[in-house]
Structure 1
Amino acid sequence: MVDFAVQAELLGYDSIWANDTLLGPRIEPLAMLAALSSATERVTLGTAALLPAFRRPVMAAQALASIDHLSAGRLVVTVGAGFPGRSEIEYAVSEVPGERRFGRLDDTVALWRALWSGQRAFHGTVLHFDDLPESTPSYRPGGPPIWLGGASPSALERTGRLYDGWLPYPPDPADYRTGLAAVRSAAATAGRSEDAVDPALFVTVLISEEPEGLERRLDSYCQTTYGLPYETVRTVQAIVAGPAEHVAATLGRYAKAGAEHLVCRIAAPSLDTQLDQLELIAKVIRPALQIPSRA
């Protein structure tokens, strides 16, 4: 995995992202990013998305501040509250109630920022601490940027009001445009500037010049990743697959809708296939995108 990330940096990618779940074996994302902080030099290191409820919040603040230091300020933290119908067991084994999960998430982020700035007490709607120990300050004043993953009306309002970036995965570029407008409206209502929130997109990508068997490959990937068929997942997540020209054109529609950073998850089962796709995206898709920066 470290070699994969190093190769991505060599190919010109701007960022590398680690996801988070307790449902199945994987390298824990903060451990992964800590390893990448010394193996890479330039790329942003991000979570997509971290699930803070499954970690003690004060310890998580220290871990994130540590990665921010180790990477010399290259960390971006996207957070989420999990998925209904899927994350209930994660809350149960973490001994955290699922109720008020959005309030808990926002409180956790506010607590992190308080700890990074040296505050010694915190009182939110869910979390309360009267006597916080001195914590590791972040590398950057105010801490690493914190993005929110989600596109519900509540998530859009909270993104504009509280967060530094937005990383949704809507299956239609038109929905992305509408959501981004709502985020910017919420930011303005909160007295923030329109560009206070970085607009990004989380998208699953598979380049294939052979249409036969493509849906079967996507279905296998979705079943392995979510335990759900492709036909179900495609209705709630951005999945772009097919010939390179089609993939580039579709991603370009998201860029025109306002997405400035494309976080591409490769829908391939093996590391060799993922490396092949990584190179195709860098050498074929990225040059075709009509956006000034980031993939």
Structure 2
Amino acid sequence: MDIGVLLPTGTAQWAEGDDPRDLITLARTAEHLGFTSLFVNDSLITPRIEALTMLAALASTTETATLGTGALLPFLRRPVQAAQSLASIDLLSGGRLTLAVGAGYPGRFGRPFYALSEVPWPRRFARLDETVALWRALWQGADSFHGEFQDFPDLPPALRPCRPAGPPIWLAGATPTARARTGRLYDGWLPYPPDPADYATGLHDIHRAAAAAGRPPEAVTPALFVTVRIDGADENTAHGQRATDDYARATYGMPLPELAKIQAVVAGPAEQVTERLNQYVAAGARHLVIRPAALNLPAQREQMERAAALIPDLHP
């Protein structure tokens, strides 16, 4: 099992007086608490520390944790330049980079991104797959690339990442077509289904798609993105639910019951949270990326400490 944490790089998770530089301290604390990965999110429509800038800062200030994106939106960046940035982070971190990527989805967190990026919305999934193929080609020394969306007959020598094949690339998506593409093309899967049973079904589909493509099931790392709020000994469940609802409204502009319909959210006493997370583990998840539901950096640290105490009890 790998247990990671999503760092609160968005200003919606900061309170007045919070120092963004404390994100470095928070990351180092998470590593020392036993979290094996540190993830960051990507956005242009909500204020936050830019994802690759944050990972570059962590490359030299952390030691062992995987540095990940949950999820990177490649269409926000020029693909060749992005490949260089990603290879740079992988080199500076000693080969600790893992990329979860996504194409966006309809609504507040989809089409507005594309308007800002000046990239067409149609065929966004094919564009994502082709961009990933271009990155991998660059990292392995290709001198040309010919695709539907990008054509480079004469590529200059590219910076090579630490690992010959480049960093692992996961897909963040849970639709049937996303699961099929994960099994065929990607190194991991990072969804957030509200029901562990749906996770098990999705992972079964991925293994079937991988087998059809001649890949073993272990070629795809089964991960999970999950929002977590753990009640303290002096807090009642109602207090935790209110705090999680405040987080949902601040982060997504919707109440907790609506968010819980579309994303994995686990809140309550430590025993209850452990039991629910282990249901996802039983469904096949082997890398949990926990997002603490807290709205200032000290509270984020407190939630991280509570989550770290659960790590020994999360196991297949």
Shared fold (TM-score greater than 0.5)?
yes
Counterpart amino acid of residue 235 in structure 1: K
1:186 alignment counterpart: 209
Offset of residue 255 of structure 1: 0.4
Q: Which one of 25, 31, 38 corresponds to residue 60 of structure 2?
A: 38
Is residue 78 of structure 2 the alignment partner of residue 56 of structure 1? yes
1:127 alignment counterpart: 150
Counterpart amino acid of residue 213 in structure 2: A
Long gaps (5+) in structure 2: 1-22
Is residue 273 of structure 2 the alignment partner of residue 247 of structure 1? yes
Long gaps (5+) in structure 1: none
Larger deviation, residues 92-101 vs 222-231: 222-231
Offset of residue 125 of structure 1: 2.9
Query: How many angstroms apart in 2 are the aligned matches of 1:35 and 1:255?
Result: 31
String of CA shifts for 1:219-276, please: whole Å, max 9, x gaps. Answer: 2211211122222111110000000000000000000110001000011001111101
Question: 1:103-182 to 2 correspondence within 5 Å?
Answer: 103-182=126-205
Offset of residue 106 of structure 1: 0.3
State the secondary structure of the residue aligned to 1:16. strand
Query: How many angstroms apart in 1 are the aligned matches of 2:150 and 2:124?
Result: 11
Query: How many angstroms apart in 1 are the aligned matches of 2:252 and 2:156?
Result: 39
Offset of residue 12 of structure 1: 1.0
2:295 alignment counterpart: 269
2:69 alignment counterpart: 47
1:227 alignment counterpart: 253
Query: How many angstroms apart in 1 are the aligned matches of 2:239 and 2:32?
Result: 31
Query: How many angstroms apart in 2 are the aligned matches of 1:218 and 1:280?
Result: 15
Q: Identity over the aligned pairs, expressed in percent?
A: 58
Is residue 232 of structure 2 the alignment partner of residue 206 of structure 1? no
| TM-score, with structure 1 as normaliser | 0.96
Is residue 281 of structure 2 the alignment partner of residue 288 of structure 1? no
Offset of residue 136 of structure 1: 0.6
Counterpart amino acid of residue 164 in structure 2: P
Offset of residue 195 of structure 1: 0.8
Counterpart amino acid of residue 257 in structure 1: A
Offset of residue 290 of structure 1: 2.5
State the secondary structure of the residue aligned to 2:266. strand
Offset of residue 112 of structure 1: 0.2
Offset of residue 213 of structure 1: 3.5
Quote the RMSD (CA, aligned, Å): 1.0
Counterpart amino acid of residue 190 in structure 1: A
String of CA shifts for 1:115-172, please: whole Å, max 9, x gaps. Answer: 0011021122322222222211111011000000010000000000000000110000
Counterpart amino acid of residue 256 in structure 2: Y
Larger deviation, residues 141-150 vs 118-127: 118-127
| Contact 2:179 2:206 survives alignment (8 Å) | yes
Whose RCO is larger (CA < 8 A, sep 6+)?
2
| Contact 2:241 2:268 survives alignment (8 Å) | no
2:90 alignment counterpart: 68
String of CA shifts for 1:13-57, please: whole Å, max 9, x gaps. Answer: 100001001122111110101110100111100000000000000
Query: How many angstroms apart in 2 are the aligned matches of 1:232 and 1:187?
Result: 33
Query: How many angstroms apart in 1 are the aligned matches of 2:105 and 2:143?
Result: 32
Counterpart amino acid of residue 7 in structure 1: T
